[in-house]
Every structure is written in structure tokens, then in C-alpha cells.
Amino acid sequence: MTAHLEHHNSVAIIRIDNPPVNGIAHATRAAIAQHLQNALSDQLITAIIITGHGIAFSGGADIKEFGTEKTFADPALPALLNQIELASKPVIAVVNGVCMGGGLELALACHYRVGTSACQLALPEVKLGILPGAGGTQRLPRLLRMETCVDMITSGQVLDSSSLRGTPLFDFFVDDTKALLGSAIAFAEKVATVRPIPRVAERAVIVAEDPSLFEQKRLELQKKSPFLPAPKACLKVLEEGTQLSFAEGLQMERNAFQELLSSPESKALRHIFVAERAIGKVAGIDASTPTRAIAKVAVIGAGTMGAGIAMNFASAGIPVKILDLQEESLSKGLYRIRTSYQSSVSKGKLNQAACEHALSLIQGVQNYEEIADADLVIEAVFEQMSVKEAVFRQLDQVMKPGAILASNTSTLDLNLIASFTSRPSDVIGLHFFSPANVMELLEVVRGRETSAEVLNTALKLAKRIKKTAVVAGVCDGFIGNRMLAQYTKQAAFLLEEGCTPQQVDTAIERFGFAMGPFRMSDLAGNDISWAVRKARKLSKPDEIYSALGDLLCEAGRFGQKTKAGWYDYQDNDRTAYPSEFVLVLIRQHALEQGYAQREVGDEEIVQRLVLALANEGRKIVEEGIAARASDVDVVYLKGYGFPKHRGGPMFYAQTLGWETVSQKLREFASGHRGETWVF
């Protein structure tokens, strides 16, 4: 939580030391200020270096202090940076590692910057719903092209330090990272007597080469992130800074920073930042938990999911065999993979060499013996227990001892699947989301007997294939699909009460979802959920849900693939057109069932849908299926498109207040299909 001061002849070295990433907490700021003062008043010191201890220079202001009085407690970061900039002796930032946010702003306030390669530099505040609040928007444009500053600050993009070598941001660049500090000390001794001391604030702002830069970017940001105020605020502060003095620009930036810091969007994004890091804290797993080496993977089933799953491993450089007993589906699956990679190449997302390398790691096979030596096998066959049983009994016979047996099941009982084998502690669920090679979310389903070693191996492997892994217990639908079932159920009930599909979709899309439930269902295929309802009717005959979805499918309206679903569609056009047929179907159904019709406002539509998610999420946490509410948020943000500026269904409910939520749930329970509200 501090910083240390050491001397090297006439050079003082202030080393920021606040693990894990040298976040600039209040205590750190106070320590740096104290050491700076001591070095300035020490007659023997002619130059001062500031650097980081360990892997980072600094990951920025300490996010964990946001929302507390420590954020602005003296010395506030801007005041500290002002002290550095006005120091009477040269202060040199030695960027030894990650240098982000307030960390980069600190380096910018120094008089010189010494860099080395392979360090991450960014002003990522916009990802937290704020903007650089300690001079970053005013100092960076005095060193780098405005085009670079606009991209960096409005997107939070991370740049490698090497890409900035030779720009005015670095006064000296050391190739040999091991010699960084020694070389920097020599540099400090060289500039110790140079006067006047160079101050970034005294440089002129670099004007944009393209005068339409700001206008173009404004239009782009409005389209790309209409619900987030921070990107637009970043652009505004950069643009206005070109017309103001440095001091006026700092003040304007500070005002904008404080306004954003208190915004609901920033609170939501900061919640997500912490939530995404909390998911890795899993009961029974710690640094001492062993893992198994995963050098070879096998996938059973070459369908859409199996092919997508296999791509994740090949793209991560892990050889993978796809087994499908049907030659036609195997060749279809391999073809699907090749065209998917080629499509990424043609879109410029992948280079040809990487495409060929990934394809070289994928092999199609047609008998189980050929996958026996895999370290992990993932079953991705038809979602029916009898089919899973046959596969797992076969795997149990064939797979080498110690192989991990995973199922991609999206709803079925993993404990039952594990019972088909003699090694249930090696069985785990790896629930990928379609398209499996694109969607970031991975539900890692922990069976009753899944060993800690197997679970830990799956969590480490998820990082290797760039997935966000959330651990789920075993229940119908695990976390996301269980919540989705309640969401879609309420959507259909709203139709029975008098809403139209476009009214429901428009309301929830105004809330921030990219696509409402009915447009989404038409895209995914209404027949998919139809099959799930039919299967569930066998296991849960008393389950109450609207028959509208079944009536729609019985009319052959499966969605975009049949050019008719909840909406009508035209050839080569994905536009969803309101359907007169569907409106008649809905009204006829409501009439036959005797459902009273009424006007339902957008706010109620949103609350019925979002609180259905939160209500189910709360039960999922209470039952121990999810470890914490923020894990539920991560699932719904990463797997189901919950708008990130709202923080997640649980964060939304917590912000509303659970007492208010309960009051609204009681109201809903007294309304249409009230019996379905269990809370």
C-alpha cells in the first residue's frame, strides 16, 4: 500500500509498491508525496526516478477505493501530479511494466519518460464509465497525435510500449529490459543539470491532422455506444482542451470526471470490473490445487456446437480430434470449421498462417480408439439423456485413466451423466454458448463428485481458450438458461395480457438489450425452445407456461429460417415485420382462455422481464448453484447480452433495492398468471 525511497548516488528512486498492480491508493499517494518532498529537500539529490515494484509500473488509481472518501483524500492524484510537474529537480518515470490510467497520467506529469518493450500502456478509464481524471486528456495530446489520443481515450485500447517508441512520449528507450533501471539512472544523471526542466504542460496541444476528426468520432460513438456517456465525454474533453489553457483544461477535465464517477453507468461498469475478477474465487480451489496437463483434446459430435468447441482449442494451439460416427456429419462439421476460419481471414480477423495452423491441429476420426489418449474429451451430442448415456458408457471404456470427461449439456443432470461412468470425479460440465467459437461465456458445471483437480484444470483451460468461466452447480438450466426460461415465460404472458411482440421487444431494447425476446427467438429458431418445452413437459407436467409458442410452431412459424415466426420476414432481409397473423393468433388465444386484455406500459414490461431474471438469480445463489450474485451478473452479461451499462440483473435489482423488488414481485403475483411468481 506504499512506495519506497532508495538512493543511487545523486539519484533518488521512488518505487511504487502496492501489489498486485501498484494501484495508486491513498496511502500510496501519501508515500510518493513524502518521498518526493524528501528528495527535493535533499541537497545530495540531483534527479528523481519514479518506477514500479514488480510487474507493473502502476495499473492506475486504486479502483477498490472508488466510492470511498479515500478517492479524493489529500494528496488527491491531480495535486500529487502537479507537485511532480512543478518539482525543482528533474523527475524521470521509468516505465517497467503495466502503465495504465492514473499510472500513465503520473508518468505524463514527470519531466522525462524512459521505456522498454512489452509494457502495456492505456488510459482505460472509459471502460469504467469515467475518463482520465488526472490530466491524461490534457497532457497526452501534448505528446502524441490527436488521432492516437482520441482512439486511446475513447476506447481504452491497450498499446504496447514498443509501438510508442520514437514518439515524444518516451525520451529514452531501453531494449534490454534487464538493464532498464541501470540505463535509466545513467539517463537521469545525464539530464540532472539540464535547464529549463521540460514540462509537458508547457508544450502546445498537437492539433488533429483531419479537421473533421471530432465530428466523425462523435457520430461513430453515438452509434457504437448510445447508452454510455463516458466515450462521448472523453471526446468532448479532448476537443474542448484544444481551445483552453492547460489549467482551464485540467479543471474542465476534473469536473467531467467527477460527474461521470457518480453516474449509474460508471457504477455498473465498476461493478462488472470487480465481478469479472471475483468469478475466479472458487470454493475449494486455491494456489495449491493441482491441475492436469491438457495437451490433447477430443470432441464427440461434429454438429454446430462440436465444431465450434473444437475451434476454441485449435485456435489456442491445442491439437483436437473430432469424432462423429456419421461420415456425412463429420465431413459437414470439418467443412463448417474450414469455412468459418476462412471467413475470419477474409474479414481480416485472422491471418492465413494462423488459419492454416489451426486447421492443421484439427483431425476428424470415426472410432473411439483414436481418441483414447486425449487428456480431455468433450461430448457435444444430441441433448437427450439416453444419447449422453451411450456416449459416456463408451468413453468410460475407452479413455485413458486420468482423462477428463466433459459434457456440453445445456440443461441435463450432470450427476446422472457422471453416474454412467466408473470415474465420476473426472466428469465435469463445460457448457459452451452458440456460436461456441465466438461466445465468451463458459459455464463450468461442478458435479457432486467432480474433483477439485478436475475443476481447477477446467478453469485454467478456460483462460487458455480465452473464455470467461463461471462455475455452476447442477440444476435444470444451470445459471443462464434457468433464468432465461423465466424471462421468456414472462414475455409470452405479456402477450396474453394485451402486448404485441414488437411492443415487448421495443421496450426491452430501449432498456439496452440488443434484441428483445421475440426477435431473438425468431433468430435462434422457435422450434428449439419448442423441443425444450416438449421435453420439459415430460419431466415437469405441472409447469405453467404460455401455449402461444407452441401454437406458433404448430403453424410452422419457426422464425427467420421459415420467413415467419413472431414476425414476418422477406427474402434476403432480416428485418422483423409485425405479423397480422400473429396478432390474430394472440388475440384469439387470449379470448379462448378468457384472459383480460389491458394496456401494459413499457416500464412494467421491463420490470416483469428483468425482475424475473433477478428473482431466479437470487434463488440460484440461495441454492448454491452460483457462488455469488455478481457471478450471476457475469453469466447474463457475457452469455445473454444483458446491457453492461446496467451492471447485470442482480446489480439492477440491488440498485433498485431488494425490498422494492419484493414489493413489485408481490404486485406481479397478484396479476396475470400470478401463480408463476415464486419468490
128-167: which residues touch ligand T1G (CB under 6 A)?
128, 132-134, 136
Least Cα distance to 256 among 221, 227, 231 occurs for: 231
215 belongs to the catalytic site: no
13 near ligand T1G (CB under 6 A) = no
Q: Which one-letter amino acid corresponds to residue 39?
A: A
Which of residues 120 and 655 has its CB atom nearest to ligand T1G in the complex?
A: 120
Which of residues 120 and 562 has its CB atom nearest to ligand T1G in the complex?
A: 120
Which of residues 158 and 390 has its CB atom nearest to ligand T1G in the complex?
A: 158
Q: Which H/E stretch holds residue 160?
A: strand 159-160
Alpha-carbon distance of 326 to 255, in angstroms, equals 65
Rounded least distance, CB 113 to ligand T1G, Å:
17
Beta carbons of 412 and 391 less than 8 angstroms apart: no
Which of residues 235 and 374 has its CB atom nearest to ligand T1G in the complex?
A: 235
354-373: which residues touch ligand T1G (CB under 6 A)?
none
Which of residues 70 and 536 has its CB atom nearest to ligand T1G in the complex?
A: 70
Which of residues 273 and 530 has its CB atom nearest to ligand T1G in the complex?
A: 273
**DSSP bridge pairs for 216:** none
Beta carbons of 381 and 300 less than 8 angstroms apart: yes
Rounded least distance, CB 274 to ligand T1G, Å:
7
CA distances for 397 relative to 371, 372, 392, 406, angstroms: 12, 9, 9, 15
What is the per-residue binding string for ligand T1G in 91-130, x denoting contact by CB under 6 A?
-------x-xxx--x--------------x---xx--x--
Rounded least distance, CB 465 to ligand T1G, Å:
16
Which of residues 460 and 563 has its CB atom nearest to ligand T1G in the complex?
A: 460
Which of residues 60 and 90 has its CB atom nearest to ligand T1G in the complex?
A: 60
Rounded least distance, CB 396 to ligand T1G, Å:
37
What angle in degrees, to the nearest 10, is found between the helix axes of 526-539 and 517-524?
90
Among 13, 14, 23, 330, binds ligand T1G (CB under 6 A): 23
125 belongs to the catalytic site: yes
271-300: which residues touch ligand T1G (CB under 6 A)?
277
**What is the separation of C-alpha 338 from the centre of its chain, rounded to a whole number of angstroms?**
27
User: Any residues with CB less than 8 A from the CB of 534 and at least 6 apart, and which?
Assistant: none
Catalytic residue among 125, 253, 443, 616: 125
**Number of residues binding to ligand T1G, judged by CB under 6 A:** 24
Alpha-carbon distance of 283 to 452, in angstroms, equals 9
Rounded least distance, CB 278 to ligand T1G, Å:
7
What is the per-residue binding string for ligand T1G in 54-93, x denoting contact by CB under 6 A?
-----xxxxxx------------x----------------
Alpha-carbon distance of 34 to 52, in angstroms, equals 16
Least Cα distance to 298 among 418, 381, 411, 354 occurs for: 381
β-bridge pairing 441-445 and 427-432: antiparallel
Q: Which H/E stretch holds residue 459?
A: helix 452-464
Phi/psi of residue 448, each to 5°? -55, -35
Alpha-carbon distance of 235 to 568, in angstroms, equals 41
Rounded least distance, CB 55 to ligand T1G, Å:
8
Between vectors from CA 330 to CA 327 and to CA 332, what angle results, nearest 5°?
A: 110
Rounded least distance, CB 251 to ligand T1G, Å:
15
Alpha helices in 77-209 (DSSP H): 77-85, 102-109, 136-139, 146-155, 180-191
Name the residue number minimizing CB distance to ligand T1G.
Answer: 101
Alpha-carbon distance of 315 to 354, in angstroms, equals 8
315-344: which residues touch ligand T1G (CB under 6 A)?
none
Residues in contact with ligand T1G by CB under 6 A are 20-21, 23, 59-64, 77, 98, 100-102, 105, 120, 124-125, 128, 132-134, 136, 277
**Residues belonging to the active site:** 105, 125
